[in-house]
Structure 1
Amino acid sequence: MTEATDQTTSRLELVERLRTAMETKDKHAFVDQFADDGVYELPFALDGAPSRWEGIDTIRALLTADSPMSKLLDIQRVSVQAQPGVTPDVVTVEFTVEGKNASTGEAFSFLSSIGVIRVRDGKIVYYRDYPSSLRGAQVAGMLKPYAESLAARS
């Protein structure tokens, strides 16, 4: 294998580990894919809200914290489409989640996020995440409270 082929395989294996961690609800396995000096970024964060976390400990605290959405949405299947980037260390991913609303039993399927990931030595050094927060709130039956919480910030 060439070095470029090795890097592509490494990126795609990492993406599969992320997908599996999401599907099995293993937050720690998801975070374990980050390098010690990794960066996680949410570029569409509201003014005044954090948008960048640096270092594995900070990322772990963020991504393993209890989330109300995880109690409202029973994710049963995660699929991913990965597109290698122009450079061998970058991959763009689209995660689609399927499952049921935990309180109503209503089935859902939606594109939960798009991410641009930079990989070094098989670990994430930079993850720029674009989650579909509105769609998640909608399928969880929480769109109105979510909108009200946003309105309270203005």
Structure 2
Amino acid sequence: MNELKINAIIQDLSNSLQTRSYDRFVSYFTENAIFEIPFTVNGGAVIKGKENIKKHFDNVQQNPLTKLIEIESVYTKIYHCADDLTVTVEYFTKGKSLATNEAFEIQSSIALIQFDASGIVYYKDFPNTLGIA
């Protein structure tokens, strides 16, 4: 996988988050991929396998907190590592609170993503929980 292909995938991941198309987001993961969120309310989560990652995002979609904001856009900054298969991605989200109608624009997450020839093999997500709150 080359830099152009990885950039295209990152753009589609961003679009998927913007439209909350989590099935499309998960479609880029390999069957044995790992999705890690090191900091959660319960101390952290390591999710193994594409099917379990899909279940995680099915739960995210059902979470009532996700319905408290309207997402206008999600955009990224991508930093390629020397090995060409690892990237660090800054995600930024622009939208508004549905409760207050207040607009916001925040750095919503930083992700470390490793690819192989067929897709994402490892995704470590550092969400900006304070900014999102």
TM-score normalized by structure 1? 0.80
Which residues of 2 match residues 83-94 of structure 1 at below 5 A? 83-94=79-90
Q: Which residue of 1 aligns with 2:36?
A: 41
Q: Which amino acid is 1:104 matched to?
A: T
Deviations along 1:86-105, one digit per CA (max 9) or x if unpaired, are: 21110110000000101111
In the alignment, the residues of structure 1 paired with residue 16 and residue 25 of structure 2 have an alpha-carbon distance, to the nearest angstrom, of 5
In the alignment, the residues of structure 2 paired with residue 132 and residue 90 of structure 1 have an alpha-carbon distance, to the nearest angstrom, of 21
Q: Which residue of 1 aligns with 2:107?
A: 111
State which of 44, 48, 51 in structure 2 corresponds to 1:54: 48
Q: Which amino acid is 1:93 matched to?
A: V
- Whichever of the two has the greater Rg, that structure is 1
Q: Give structure 1 stretches of 5+ with no counterpart.
A: 1-5, 138-154
Q: Secondary structure at the match of 1:59?
A: helix
Deviations along 1:93-134, one digit per CA (max 9) or x if unpaired, are: 000000010111110100000000001124110001100011
Which residues of 2 match residues 1-154 of structure 1 at below 5 A? 7-46=2-41, 48-65=42-59, 66-137=62-133
Tell me which stretches of 4 or more aligned residues in structure 1 moved more than 4 Å: none
Report the alpha carbon displacement of residue 74 of structure 1 after superposing the two structures with TM.
0.7
- Contact preservation (8 Å) 2:38, 2:44: no
Deviations along 1:36-66, one digit per CA (max 9) or x if unpaired, are: 11100012235x5451000001101111211
TM-score normalized by structure 2? 0.92
- Contact preservation (8 Å) 2:34, 2:121: yes
Q: Give structure 2 stretches of 5+ with no counterpart.
A: none
Q: Which amino acid is 1:36 matched to?
A: E
Identity of aligned residues (%): 28
